[in-house]
Amino acid sequence: MTEHASPVTKTSYGAGLRRPADDADVIVVGAGPAGSTTAYYLAQAGLDVLMLEKSTFPREKVCGDGLTPRGVRALVAMGISVSEQDGWVRNKGLRVIGAGKRLELPWPELSTYPGYGLVRPRTDLDQMLARRAQQAGARLLEGVTVTGPVFDERSGRLTGVAAKEADGERTYRARVIVAADGNSSRLSVAMGLRKRDDRPLGVAVRTYYQSPRHDDDYLESWLDLWDGDRLLPGYGWIFGMGDGTSNVGLGLLNTSAAFGNTDYHALLRKWLAGMPAEWGFTEENRTQPIRGAALPMGFNRTPHYYRGLLLAGDAGGMVNPFNGEGIAYAMESGEILARTIAQALARARRTETERVLAGYPRALREAYGGYYSVGRVFVKAIGRPELMRFATKHAMSRPALMRFALKLLANLTDPGGDASDRLVNGLSKLAPNPE
Ligand SMILES: Cc1cc2nc3c(=O)[nH]c(=O)nc-3n(C[C@H](O)[C@H](O)[C@H](O)COP(=O)(O)OP(=O)(O)OC[C@H]3O[C@@H](n4cnc5c(N)ncnc54)[C@H](O)[C@@H]3O)c2cc1C
């Protein structure tokens, strides 16, 4: 193998194995939280990384805009300032409303995670993460839509991607390709990796209203939604954005009978019609269209490594099935992935590189496999309205139980930790951990 002499080459170890036709050591498709975090850690490891992003920053992403302490930890790890002076809105915990009760549950005090969460519009957050990756040395091309895989004819291994950009079509090549292209992951689908029917999937809609509740210092979650005296399917949230508006939305899981046949926009309007008028969740105060998207949960797409392609974030179906949180998992999987690739590309022989890359699904299973298995059981159980109603009614009158539930649902424990931490960790460890 000859050394690549192109000006894009950085001082990457493993560069000796780089093929002359390569545009980078690693191509990352998609610059959402998963892609930018992967690119950041790869660039930090000295690799030449090329991010291809179809949109142009700042761009919108349909989201609740809420970060639990898990998300805060991931931001801090990347050296991002999360101070209020820098525009972040902090929250102290989760307010849960259900069965006619209202409980404020502060985020747990732990050594692994900070004791606060954050809110930030995705238009800001995603741009900030992409710029951070660029500062670390990753190259970002915006307005480049990846249209399909390019294979090595002999080995059948992925060697690049075809892309469409303003001035035409072209191919980008690298030794390793990362699919961080979100829930629909066209690239994974083109490789034959579809969503799994046996794994949870949520669908949620959200919009923004001008509201006096915009500076709420708790994230608010509604366990049951009412239309008069009729219980509606689904769960809702109200997150204060601190800028005069609240992000308001609701979602349903595919384990619910109403999943495929619900008018989400109508459901949102019905739910909000029952809210106190002074909160201002009315059409006149709506500042954005109502938009929806899917939440692929609990390893909804596998395998996470296949013929040179590695999946991060929503592309790999990594949203937490307990609470619908996806940003933290997109970022964490990006970090795990980047560390795997850095080790793989430092190996002298191709077979060794392959062996290290093939370890990525195992590393993911070690991080989340047991927990997601418990989550899949949870999602099945709450898909039954009578069970959900029973659980909500009993849990809401037991604050200690709800504090435990918060740790479980938000995946916030210390290794070792107190009795409730050990119980959550023990459950995840004992649960089956299939691919
Ligand atoms: C309504 C709703 C509310 C949510 N609320 C929350 C919340 O409050 N907190 C939370 O943590 N999570 C929430 N989530 C989940 C969260 O939004 C996702 O888990 C998260 O965005 C995943 O990040 P990602 O980087 O994997 O994918 P994405 O954020 O989807 O990023 C994918 C990127 O790839 C780009 N891309 C796609 N296709 C191509 C292509 N062919 N070529 C080039 N680029 C491409 C896209 O433009 C995008 O920039 C919510 C989701 C929904 C739908």
Give residue 260's pLDDT.
85
CB-ligand 1 contact for 186 (6 Å cutoff): yes
Q: Which tens digits make up the pLDDT trace of 357-395? A: 999 999 999 999 999 999 999 998 888 878 888 889 999
State the chain's mean pLDDT as an integer.
93
Q: Measuring from atom 16 of ligand 1, which residue has the nearest CA?
A: 326
Q: 176 C-alpha vs ligand 1 centroid, how far in Å?
A: 22
Q: What is the pLDDT of residue 219?
A: 98
pTM of this structure: 0.95
Q: Cα(30) to centroid of ligand 1, in Å?
A: 9
Band of residue 231 on the pLDDT scale cut at 50, 70, 90: confident
Report whether residue 30 contacts ligand 1, using a CB cutoff of 6 Å: yes
pLDDT band for 1, please (50, 70, 90 cuts). very low
Nearest-5° angle of CA 28, CA 30, CA 33? 100
**pLDDT value at position 406?**
95
Residue nearest to atom 52 of ligand 1 (CA): 63
Query: Which pLDDT does position 22 carry in this prediction?
Result: 86
- Pocket probe for ligand 1: among 52, 60, 61, the residue whose CB has the most ligand atoms within 8 Å is 61
8-state DSSP, 397:
T
Ligand 1 mutation target, pool 295, 329, 335, 411, most atoms within 8 A of CB: 295
SS3 sequence of 217-262: CCEEEECCEEECCEEECCEEEEEECCCCEEEEEEEEECCCCCHHHC
Task: Answer for the pair 433, 365: CB distance below 8 angstroms, yes or no.
Answer: yes
Closest protein CA for atom 53 of ligand 1: 293
Q: What is the pLDDT of residue 418?
A: 93
Each residue of 4-59: pLDDT tens digit? 333 333 433 344 456 778 899 999 999 999 999 999 999 999 999 999 999 999 99
pLDDT at 17: 57
3-state secondary structure of 140: strand
| CB atoms inside a 10 Å sphere around CB 105 | 22
- Region 72-84: mean pLDDT is 97
**Token couple for 370:** 């047991």
Mutate to test the pocket of ligand 1, among 181, 253, 288 (most ligand atoms within 8 A of CB): 181
DSSP string, 354-390: HHHHTTHHHHHIIIIIHHHHHHHHHHHHHTSHHHHHH
pLDDT in tens, 262-285: 899 999 999 999 999 999 999 999
Instruction: Kindly give, in sequence order, each residue whose CB lies less than 8 Å from that of residue 276, ignoring residues fewer than 6 positions away.
Output: none
Distance 314 CA to ligand 1 centre (A): 6
pLDDT, tens only, 290-320: 999 999 999 999 999 999 999 999 999 999 9
In this predicted structure, the answer to whether residue 177 has a pLDDT above a threshold of 80 is: yes
pLDDT score for 19: 74
Give distance in angstroms: CA of 182 to centre of ligand 1.
Answer: 5
pLDDT tens digits for range 130-172: 999 999 999 999 999 999 999 998 988 999 999 999 999 999 9
Residue 178 beta carbon below 6 angstroms from any ligand 1 atom? no
Residue range 175-193: average pLDDT?
A: 97
Q: Tell me, using a 6 A CB cutoff, whether residue 204 lines ligand 1.
A: yes
For atom 29 of ligand 1, which residue has the closest CA? 32
Q: How far apart are CA 26 and CA 3, in angstroms?
A: 16
What pLDDT was estimated at residue 18?
A: 65
The radius of gyration of the chain's CA atoms, rounded to the nearest angstrom, is 22
